[in-house]
Amino acid sequence: MSGAGAGGAMGQAGEVMAVFAQRPWAAVSDAEMAAGLAVPSMLSREESQLYHWLGRSVQGDGATVDLGAFAGGSAARLLTGLAQSGRAHHLHAYDHFTAGAAVWARFLAAEPVPEGDHNDILPLVRRYLAPWRDHVTLCPGDIRKTRWTGGEIEILAVDAAKGSEVADHIAAEFFPALVPGRSIVVQLDYLHAIQPWLCAQMVRLADHFVPLAQVAKDCVAFLCVSVPDAAALQAARTDDLTDGALMKRVREAAKWHGPMIADDRFKAMLRKIKDNPGVRLSWQMRQATGGGKTA
């Protein structure tokens, strides 16, 4: 991203797109992000590389926001990069910071596994992120109740939009703080069939965001080219869409993203919506009722 010259946000967009087309994060070695990799995470290796590279490439002193930080792994990967950026930096990590026994056993296996469904992982997160403690604010609680008052955001990493309501709230609260031509939004599970509200949201914001790259299987990075106003954010809402309206938006998104993203990813979303009428939470989407066909 560094090197995007002066000029309008759209002019910068061309430069940023050219940089992303080279996929420079692929060159990030495990050694470079070793401290970050030491923190448990659900991120894939390429997503980890992207996070590190994004942190390293910040151009200004805006905040980095990690929505859905879980045990701090995504934050740690961003922070290893930010620490190498030479810029003033601060990361705000949001999550419930709780884990049920099954998730704990799978992702935090090195820690003694408790029994309950809502075990506090904040003490673990504080320990894991101790190397960067002066550069991190932990924000525990429900993101749907969060207000953002922290000024400009340069990197917005979204891994908590597991329902349409929280996705709408994230857009309404955090997108107004983005900087045109500079801020990157990473939608981590954007192409996951059980989160169709994400592409339905972003396609309505197509005047404000440029898709930059698909990373690993499900992640898509965007550049903000203009800040959506309240009316645009209202028009992009997804929580109150009927299934038919949601599917229409998914089809629009397939056109918007072609040929960068394969059409069958959107077809899988359409099938999920058909199989799960009215469902707007990803964990409920998993319980498909049948083998519905693409609309």
Ligand X SMILES: C[S@@+](CC[C@H](N)C(=O)[O-])C[C@H]1O[C@@H](n2cnc3c(N)ncnc32)[C@H](O)[C@@H]1O
Q: Are 39 and 68 in contact (CB under 8 A)?
A: no
Q: At what angle do helices 263-275 and 243-257 cross, to 10 degrees?
A: 170
Residue 224: closest CA among 44, 95, 43, 60: 60
SS3 label, residue 87: coil
43 forms part of the interface with ligand X (CB under 6 A): yes
**Which residues inside 106-165 make contact with ligand X, applying CB under 6 A?**
142-144, 159-160, 162
Cβ atoms of 13 and 183 closer than 8 Å: no
Rounded to the nearest 10°, the torsion over CA 161, 164, 167, 171 is 170
Nearer to ligand X (CB atom), residue 74 or residue 201: 74
Residue span binding ligand X (CB under 6 A) among the ranges 40-48, 57-65, 192-200, 222-230: 40-48
For residues 98 and 226, which CB has a smaller minimum distance to ligand X in the complex?
A: 98
> Is residue 166 near ligand X by the rule CB under 6 A?
yes
Of the pair 94, 132, the CB lying nearest ligand X is at: 94
Looking at residues 46 to 105 of the shown chain, list those that interact with ligand X (rule: CB under 6 A): 68-70, 73-74, 94-96
Strand order in the sheet with 209-215: 136-140, 91-95, 63-67, 153-158, 184-187, 219-224, 209-215
Report, in Å, the least distance between residue 200 CB and ligand X: 18
Footprint of ligand X (CB under 6 A): 41-43, 68-70, 73-74, 94-96, 142-144, 159-160, 162, 166
